[in-house]
Amino acid sequence: MRKHTFILSALVALAAFSSCSKEYVPVEPEIIEPVVEESIPFVLNAEAVDTKALFGDDWRLSWEKNDYIFAVTTDQEWSSYTIFTYNGTAFTTTKTISNGTHTFNFIYAPFAQRAYHTATGTKFNISETQGMSTSNPKAGLKNYYPLAGQATLTTPTASLDAKLNHLATIVKVTVKNMTGAAIKVNSLRMDMPAVGIAGLFKVDFEGTPSLKRIPGTINLTSVTNLISGGVTLEVGEEIPVYFVIAPVDRYNGDIIFTAETSTKKYVKSKPVVNVTFRAGTYNSATYVLE
Render pLDDT for 34-48 as a digit per residue (tens, 0 to 9).
Answer: 333 332 334 444 332
Query: Is residue 287 pLDDT above 90, yes or no?
Result: yes
pLDDT at 284: 86
Using the predicted structure, report yes or no on whether residue 195 has a pLDDT greater than 90.
yes
From its phi and psi, is residue 74 left (phi > 0), alpha (psi between -120 and 50) or beta? Answer: alpha
Query: How confident is the model over 62-102, as pLDDT tens digits?
Result: 777 888 889 999 999 999 998 888 887 777 777 877 888 88
To the question of domain 171-289 being in CATH 3.50.50.60, the answer is: no
Distance CA 18, CA 271 (A): 24
Residue 61 is predicted with a pLDDT of: 66
**pTM of this structure:** 0.81
Task: List Cβ neighbours of 86 (8 Å cut-off, separation of 6 or more).
Answer: 46, 63, 64, 65, 66, 67, 68, 69
The more confidently predicted of residues 93 and 204 is 204
Average pLDDT over residues 152-176: 77
Residues in the chain: 290
